[in-house]
Each structure stands twice: as structure tokens, then as C-alpha cells.
């Protein structure tokens, strides 16, 4: 027995509600709500989403369709390839057509509308006409459809419209990247004498005290498509009286011809410039629009039609653009998105939503970059951005780290930023408050990238605890070195490596015999930083990409395993042991740097056990770097096992330990540091974390080695800084923008400790 016999493929519009939007699409569900509100809606029915899905499955094209769609999303920047893929997908949909199991239920619903019913067939794709995206005019609408075969053909054409270049691009820009599906609304045609749209808030400025109505003669297609200049009426919600009337020049109208097809009728100047709506009609349309808003609880974008003196609502959806335009001078700026305040500063500009770093060329200098998340491949794009907003991430994610170093205002963990913020909209990002607001907010002039690079001289206090900085990019070396800092406590290799390889996976270079390029470029970048800070120490942390980050590099799929939890997976010290040839290239680059700048030290990250560190250090000793005199060898203390193993590590020749407070906190408390959902659980000042830090510092003091801590807490939490000072830590390493405040906080803590000792 066919299991599909129990599946409902068709439902009358009157039975649908907004909760059915997933299966009936936004358009179908919204129409059902209008019926529930007892508003005048032409009768009709909806082919549910499963009708499309099961037809594609029965036709044997579903798997190929989904694969091609994913390829199209990847190749959107290549217009020619995107068009080719769309033609291919539309041909597959046409080939599959409507499965036999659905044909009769569709025709039964159609026949119930009356003999020879003339209908409009409209797409109702997943996500259409919702609060996040309207898809206005994107998918197909076929009007004046009659007859069984005509209806079935129109349904197939609607399904095919899922795969046009503009629809795929639009869906992607709104964050709809899952495999698409479509419901279809079939509704009795209103042979309208007048038609148009009505907004229950002014789309030009967001004002909600008025209804804005546009109208033209004939079918409403001429208004929605913009083919004619419609009349525009602004009606007060309070008095229902017109506030403004502007008559447009309606050069023609579209009517239903005797043959059942749309016909264009030219209008003479007198007709073209005449008023469309009478006072009574205007009031009726305004009342229907307001009733729709009242029922749905939010401003609405409706479509209306008048036939034989009766007004109908033929469509309604939430207005998706409110708050994305500049508000009136009398109103406050609307908050469009909120997240974690990751990098301070205020910047205004136009939004640019990007899905992948490959789209970076679309971002113009000074625009606001909005992305789901960033990785090192995004670096060139972030440099040009006025500000950065990401959907996911915590205070220590890639986006936050890079933005702070570049001085770019940044908000992370905005969750729905890529859906709530739209291309071309002018917004202001406040990185200190974690808010994106509509319009342009006057703020102190933001420095250009060149101005941000100018050396800044600061008056600094003298502290016994050294204040180092964290760096990731060579271009900021001279600027940061001009500050009153004691050196570089954490030089992240990952970002420099990405730039050196032009986004390629290092093994891809090796496979093409280009490993010399890697060594030369890394030598240049690290050498520039070392020279800028000399003779102050620069502690280079070996590359610590996770496998998911490595996979994101060009060619990475061929070399990286897929891990369910990369954070505690194949990374750090263990990886160097397993891939000594790649580690050797990094060591060679450092050896070349140290020939000119012996102030560079090596730090091994994510050390779990004694045996792996011993193996790793043997690789260092056997390399040109290991044979150089005076090389300081550090380990990162991120894994809690370091509390047990540190004496053994020191016995192997380690003379510095740097506490990675972010990862250590993450592993001590079992919380993902990049999770915006669990952000409040991440606390470096938790007693368990402080106890672990205290044990590590105590061991370092006992054996006479350097101890440091990498993280922002010493600059933002005076109590945390005082804990470190009392524990006897040697140094802290913070982002450059926090170095001065960290110095002041530590100086105050040292004074308190000295005063207590003197009593």
C-alpha cells in the first residue's frame, strides 16, 4: 500500500492558521488568518509543501536537486554558473512534475470552486511573507488560470520558480540556505476594476499612525511590479481622514480579456491622471488594512482588489522593512540587533550581509560587515569594514579578537543579525553597548585605518608585573610597539599563516612543492614584529588551528578529519607530533627570524600529557631552531592536566608557562566560550578557575620559571588582577587596546599589596 495515501496534500484556505506556515508557507497561512478574522478573502486552497517534496521524490530528482542547490549557493558569485545550475534544476522539476497521487486531490479542490473557475496560482515558499523576509515578487504568480491541465501546469511553473538566480540569491541573503520547498496557493481570481497595496505603517519612515495606500486601475500587477505610477493616499489611523493624496500617471491597465488571458489597455491622459479610489473606497481599504494589523498584532503589507463594488484582501504579510530605514527626526533610533559587546567603538554605514569569505569583494570600504561567524579567511574583508556583527560567537572568538586588534567596533552573538539586518540599510553599531540601531548616530569621528596605525605615546605607570600584548598581524607591529608595553606575550600564528598562504591549506602548498613560500612569508611577518619590539621578548605560539578551521582553508577538505568536538580534538602539541614535516617548516621560519632577532621565543599550545610534549621538544631540539642558543621554550596552560604535569614539563626544559585563561576556564567549567547562549556561565573569576591558576603560578614560582596569563580579565576586572598579583604572577598579556588600563589596574593592586605588607 502506498504510504502517501495517508498524507494530506491539499487544504482549504479557511482551515489554515499562522501555525501552519511551515507546511502551507507564509502566504497560505496568512490568508487563513484573514479568513479567521472574518475579512473578505476570495475562496481557495493550498497545495502543502509535502506535495512538492513527494512529487520530486517520486520523480527521482530530489537528491540531485538538493545537491545542485547547494552547489548554486556556493557559486553565487559566478553569474554564468549560477544561471546554468538554475536552468538544470528547473528542468528537473519540470521532468518530475506532479505525482499521480496528488493530481486528483488538487483537481477535486479546484472543481469545488465552481465549474470553469478562473484562479490565480501563487507560490508560498518556506519563509515567504514572514517577519524576516517578504520574497516580494521573487517566486512565480500565474493569473487567469483555468482548466485542469492549465492548473497543473501553473503549479509546476510555480515550483520551477524556486530555482531562479534571483530567488536563490535573495534566499541566501536572508539566511535561507536549507534545501528549499514550496507550497502553492490557488485562489479564485478577482476580476478587479481597481487594485493595489496598503501598508499599516509608513514604509518610508516607520511612522505607525497612518495607512499608506497605493492604487491603480485593473489588476494589481501593475502596482506590485512598478509598471505604472499609482495613486498614493496617506490616511490617518485616528480620524480615518486623508492626510495626503498624490495622483499618479497610470498610463495603462491590465484586465482579463475575453480569451481568459491578461490584456493591456492604454489609457488616455484624462483617464491616466484621474483618481482611482473614492472617499468611501479609500476608507474601506484603510479599515481592512487596520483590521489585518489588529488581528496579526504587527504592521502589515496587504494587497487589495475591488470588483463589482466589493473590496477583497488577496494577500497580507508582516512589513519586513520597518526599522531598517532612517526614523523621523522626532523618533529614537530603533534597536535592530543586540549581542555581546566584543570590541568598543561606534561606527555608522550601510549593511553588507555576507555568507562566505569568498564574497568579501562585495563589501565596500566603510560598510558594516554582517556574517554568521568569521574565521581567518575573513581578515581582508574585516580590515575594510567600519564595524562587524556576527550571529554566533563569544568574547574570545575569532571575530572578537581580530576586531579588537584592528580597532573595529564589533558585536558577536547577535543570533539573527544576518536575518534582521539587510543589505544597503544604514545602521550604527555600538561595540561598547552591543547594539545595532537604525540610521546614522552622530559620534566622535572614527579614525581611518591609516590613522589607527599612527603610533600613540602614553604616560604609563611602572609595575613589577610585566604587561605584554597579544598580537596576530604584522601590520600593527610598529603601532603597538610604540606603546608602553613590555613585549609580546602571545603572538598568534594562525592569522599570519592564513595571509602567508593566501587562504590555502599548508599541505596544499606542500603537495605543489611550494613549502618555501610558506617559510619565507612567515619569516617576513614574524621578523617584522620581532624587529619592532626588540629587545623586548616576543613569544610566538605555534599554529593552533582546530580541524574545522583548517578545513575552511582552500584544499582543507582533502587533508582534515571531521570532528564532532574540534576544540578538544586534533590540535596543538599532539598535532605537531603526528605531522612533524609541517611543524618543521614553522620551526625553520622561526630559526631564520632568530638569526636577526634573538628576542623570539617558542610557545607550545594545548599540551595534554608529558609524553607528547617530550616528543614535540625532541623535534624542536633536532631542528635548526633548537640548536640556537638562548631559545626560551614555553607551554600554554589551557588543559587542566597541566596542574599535575607542570613539574615534569619544567624538567623537560620548559622555562615559561602562559595560562590561557579562556580555554582553561572553558575546560574547568565545561562551557563553550564561543556560545552566546551560555555566555553568562563563562567566568574566569570562578573559584575553581582561580584555584587552578593559583596552583600553576605557585608551581612556576617554586621552580623559578616565568608565569604569565593571556586574557582580558586583568584589564577589566580589578579583583581578578589583584588575585594574580597576590599569587605572584610574573606577567599578563592583553590585547593592545587594553594594555594601558591593565597597567593601571595592576599598579593599583601592587600598591595595595605593598601597603598591607608595610603595616
Continuous segment of H or E residues that includes residue 196: strand 194-199
**Residue 321: its pLDDT value, please?**
52
Question: What is the distance of C-alpha 440 from the center of its chain?
Answer: 21
Helix pair 49-58, 100-111: axis angle to 10 deg: 150
pLDDT at 594 over 70: yes
Write out pLDDT tens, residues 199-225: 888 765 567 888 989 889 988 877 765
Helices (H), 188-316: 221-224, 269-272, 279-296
Continuous segment of H or E residues that includes residue 429: strand 426-430
Write out pLDDT tens, residues 314-368: 888 887 555 433 333 334 578 888 887 778 889 999 999 999 888 988 999 899 9
**Residue 135: its pLDDT value, please?**
41
pLDDT at 139 over 70: no
Between 756 and 28, name the one with better pLDDT: 28
| Secondary structure tally for the chain: helices H, strands E | 28, 29
Between 135 and 156, name the one with better pLDDT: 156
pLDDT at 588 over 70: yes
**Residue 679: its pLDDT value, please?**
66
pLDDT at 134 over 60: no
Burial of 287 (0-12, 13-18, 19+ CB in 10 A): middle
pLDDT at 607 over 90: yes
pLDDT at 130 over 50: no
Write out pLDDT tens, residues 42-101: 999 999 999 999 999 999 999 999 888 888 887 776 777 888 888 999 999 999 999 998
Q: SS3 helix, strand, coil % of the chain, rounded to 5?
A: 45, 20, 35
Across 502-575, where does the E strand assignment appear? 538-541
**127 pLDDT tier (thresholds 50, 70, 90):** very low
Q: Where are the domains of the chain?
A: 3-188, 194-318, 335-450, 464-758
**Residue 747: its pLDDT value, please?**
87
* Mean pLDDT of all residues in 711-735: 84
pLDDT at 18 over 50: yes
**Residue 573: its pLDDT value, please?**
96
Write out pLDDT tens, residues 675-708: 657 767 878 888 999 999 999 999 999 999 999 9
Between 288 and 204, name the one with better pLDDT: 288
Q: What's the mean pLDDT when you consider all of the chain?
A: 84
**Residue 717: its pLDDT value, please?**
73
**Residue 329: its pLDDT value, please?**
35
From residue 620, give the alpha-carbon distance in Å to each of 300, 516, 521. 67, 19, 20
Fold of 3-188: Dna Ligase; domain 1 (3.30.1490)
Residue 4 phi, psi dihedral angles, 5° rounding: -75, -10
What are the grid coordinates assigned to 647, written together?
613539574
pLDDT at 522 over 60: yes
Between 263 and 539, name the one with better pLDDT: 539
CB-side neighbour CA atoms (13 Å) of 584 = 13
**711 pLDDT tier (thresholds 50, 70, 90):** confident
Between 400 and 275, name the one with better pLDDT: 275
CB under 8 Å to 225, separation ≥6 — which residues? 137
**Residue 285: its pLDDT value, please?**
95
**Residue 756: its pLDDT value, please?**
77
Look-up: residue for cell 612533524?
A: 580
Q: Would you please indicate which residues are annotated as catalytic (active-site) residues?
A: 398, 710
Question: Which one of 3.30.70.1450, 3.40.50.2020, 3.40.50.970, 3.20.20.60 gives the CATH number of domain 464-758?
Answer: 3.20.20.60
Residue 469 phi, psi dihedral angles, 5° rounding: -125, 155
Write out pLDDT tens, residues 158-172: 999 888 877 777 676
Q: For domain 335-450, give the CATH number.
A: 3.50.30.10
* Mean pLDDT of all residues in 470-496: 88
**757 pLDDT tier (thresholds 50, 70, 90):** confident
**737 pLDDT tier (thresholds 50, 70, 90):** confident
pLDDT at 151 over 70: yes
Fold of 194-318: D-amino Acid Aminotransferase; Chain A, domain 1 (3.30.470)
Helix (H, G, I), strand (E, B) or coil at 79: helix
**622 pLDDT tier (thresholds 50, 70, 90):** very high
**Residue 401: its pLDDT value, please?**
72
What are the grid coordinates assigned to 712, written together?
582580558
**Residue 496: its pLDDT value, please?**
81
What are the grid coordinates assigned to 695, written together?
596552583
* Mean pLDDT of all residues in 298-318: 89
**Residue 597: its pLDDT value, please?**
92
Q: Which of 457-461, 581-585, 716-720 has the lowest mean pLDDT?
A: 457-461
316 pairs with which residues across the strands? 302
**Residue 224: its pLDDT value, please?**
66
Q: What's the length of the chain?
A: 759
User: Cβ(187)–Cβ(314) under 8 Å?
Assistant: yes
Contacts 24+ apart (CB under 8 A), 646-652: 646/696, 646/699, 646/700, 647/699, 647/703, 648/610, 649/607, 649/610, 649/613, 650/699, 650/703, 650/705, 652/610, 652/613, 652/614, 652/617
Helix (H, G, I), strand (E, B) or coil at 316: strand
Amino acid at each position: 500500500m502506498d504510504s502517501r495515501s495517508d498524507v494530506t496534500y491539499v487544504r482549504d484556505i479557511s482551515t489554515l492558521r499562522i501555525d501552519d506556515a511551515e507546511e502551507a508557507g507564509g502566504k497560505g497561512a496568512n490568508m487563513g488568518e484573514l479568513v479567521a478574522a472574518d475579512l473578505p478573502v476570495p475562496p481557495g486552497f493550498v497545495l502543502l509543501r509535502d506535495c512538492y517534496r513527494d512529487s520530486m521524490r517520486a520523480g527521482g530528482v530530489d537528491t540531485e536537486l538538493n545537491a545542485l542547490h547547494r552547489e548554486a549557493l556556493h557559486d553565487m558569485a559566478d553569474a554564468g554558473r549560477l544561471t546554468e545550475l538554475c536552468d538544470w534544476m528547473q528542468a528537473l522539476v519540470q521532468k518530475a512534475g506532479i505525482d499521480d497521487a496528488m493530481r486528483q486531490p488538487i483537481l477535486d479542490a479546484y472543481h469545488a470552486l465552481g465549474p470553469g473557475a478562473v484562479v490565480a496560482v501563487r507560490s508560498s515558499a518556506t519563509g515567504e511573507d514572514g517577519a524576516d523576509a517578504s520574497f516580494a515578487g521573487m517566486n512565480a504568480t500565474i493569473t487567469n488560470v483555468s482548466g485542469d491541465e492549465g492548473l497543473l501546469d501553473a503549479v509546476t511553473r510555480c515550483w520551477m520558480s524556486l530555482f531562479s538566480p534571483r530567488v536563490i540569491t535573495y534566499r541566501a541573503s536572508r539566511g535561507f540556505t536549507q534545501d528549499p520547498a514550496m507550497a502553492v496557493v490557488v485562489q479564485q481570481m478577482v476580476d478587479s476594476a481597481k487594485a493595489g497595496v496598503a501598508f499599516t505603517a509608513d514604509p518610508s519612515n516607520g511612522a505607525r499612525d497612518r495607512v499608506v495606500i497605493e492604487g491603480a486601475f485593473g489588476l494589481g500587477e501593475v502596482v506590485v511590479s512598478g509598471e505604472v505610477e499609482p495613486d498614493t493616499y496617506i490616511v490617518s489611523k485616528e480620524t480615518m481622514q486623508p492626510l495626503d493624496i498624490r495622483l499618479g500617471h497610470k498610463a495603462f491597465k491590465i484586465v482579463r480579456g475575453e480569451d481568459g488571458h491578461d490584456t493591456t489597455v492604454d489609457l488616455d491622459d484624462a483617464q491616466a491622471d484621474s483618481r482611482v479610489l473614492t472617499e468611501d473606497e479609500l476608507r474601506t481599504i484603510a479599515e481592512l488594512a487596520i483590521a489585518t494589523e489588529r488581528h496579526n498584532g504587527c504592521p502589515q503589507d496587504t494587497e487589495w482588489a475591488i470588483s463589482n463594488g466589493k473590496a477583497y484582501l488577496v494577500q497580507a504579510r508582516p512589513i519586513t522593512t520597518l526599522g531598517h530605514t532612517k526614523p523621523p527626526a522626532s523618533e529614537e533610533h530603533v534597536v535592530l540587533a543586540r549581542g555581546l559587546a566584543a570590541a568598543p567603538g561606534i561606527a555608522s554605514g550601510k549593511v553588507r550581509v555576507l555568507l562566505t569569505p569568498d564574497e568579501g569583494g562585495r563589501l565596500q570600504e566603510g560598510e558594516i560587515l554582517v556574517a554568521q561567524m568569521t574565521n581567518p579567511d575573513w581578515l581582508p574583508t574585516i580590515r575594510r569594514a567600519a564595524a562587524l556583527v556576527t550571529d554566533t560567537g563569544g568574547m574570545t572568538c575569532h571575530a572578537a579578537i581580530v576586531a579588537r586588534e584592528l580597532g573595529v567596533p564589533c558585536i558577536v552573538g547577535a543570533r539573527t543579525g544576518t536575518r534582521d539586518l539587510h543589505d544597503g540599510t544604514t545602521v550604527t553599531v555600538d561595540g561598547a553597548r552591543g547594539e545595532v540601531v537604525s540610521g546614522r548616530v552622530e559620534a566622535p569621528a572614527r579614525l581611518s585605518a591609516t590613522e589607527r596605525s599612527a603610533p600613540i605615546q602614553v604616560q604609563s605607570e611602572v609595575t613589577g608585573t610585566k604587561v605584554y600584548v597579544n598580537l596576530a598581524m604584522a601590520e600593527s607591529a610598529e603601532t603597538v610597539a610604540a606603546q608602553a608595553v613590555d613585549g609580546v606575550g602571545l603572538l598568534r600564528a594562525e592569522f599570519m599563516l592564513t595571509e602567508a598562504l593566501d587562504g590555502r591549506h599548508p599541505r596544499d602548498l606542500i603537495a605543489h612543492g611550494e613549502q618555501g613560500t610558506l617559510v619565507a612569508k612567515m619569516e617576513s611577518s614574524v621578523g617584522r614584529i620581532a624587529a619592532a619590539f626588540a629587545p623586548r621578548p616576543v613569544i610566538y605560539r605555534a599554529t593552533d588551528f582546530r580541524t574545522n578551521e583548517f578545513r575552511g582553508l582552500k584544499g582543507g577538505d582533502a587533508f582534515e578529519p571531521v570532528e564532532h568536538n574540534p576544540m578538544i580534538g586534533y590540535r596543538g602539541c599532539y598535532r605537531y607530533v603526528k605531522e612533524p614535516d609541517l611543524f618543521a617548516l614553522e620551526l625553520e621560519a622561526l630559526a631564520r627570524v632568530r638569526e636577526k632577532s634573538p628576542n623570539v621565543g617558542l610557545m607550545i599550545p594545548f599540551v595534554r600529557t608529558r609524553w607528547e610534549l617530550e616528543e614535540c621538544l625532541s623535534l624542536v631540539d633536532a631542528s635548526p631552531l633548537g640548536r640556537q642558543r638562548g631559545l626560551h621554550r614555553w607551554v600554554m596552560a589551557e588543559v587542566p592536566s597541566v596542574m599535575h604535569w607542570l613539574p615534569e614539563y619544567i624538567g623537560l626544559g620548559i622555562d615559561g608557562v602562559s595560562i590561557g585563561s579562556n580555554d582553561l576556564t572553558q575546560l574547568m567549567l565545561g562551557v563553550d566560550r564561543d556560545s552566546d547562549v551560555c555566555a553568562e556561565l563563562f567566568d574566569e573569576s570562578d573559584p575553581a578557575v582561580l584555584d587552578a591558576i593559583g596552583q600553576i603560578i605557585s608551581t612556576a614560582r617554586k621552580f623559578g620559571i616565568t608565569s604569565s596569563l593571556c586574557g582580558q580579565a586583568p584589564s577589566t576586572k580589578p579583583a581578578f588582577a589583584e588575585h594574580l598579583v597576590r599569587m605572584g604572577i610574573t606577567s599578563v598579556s592583553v590585547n593592545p587596546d587594553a594594555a594601558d588600563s591593565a597597567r593601571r589596574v595592576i599598579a593599583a593592586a601592587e600598591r595595595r599589596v605593598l601597603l598591607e605588607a608595610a603595616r
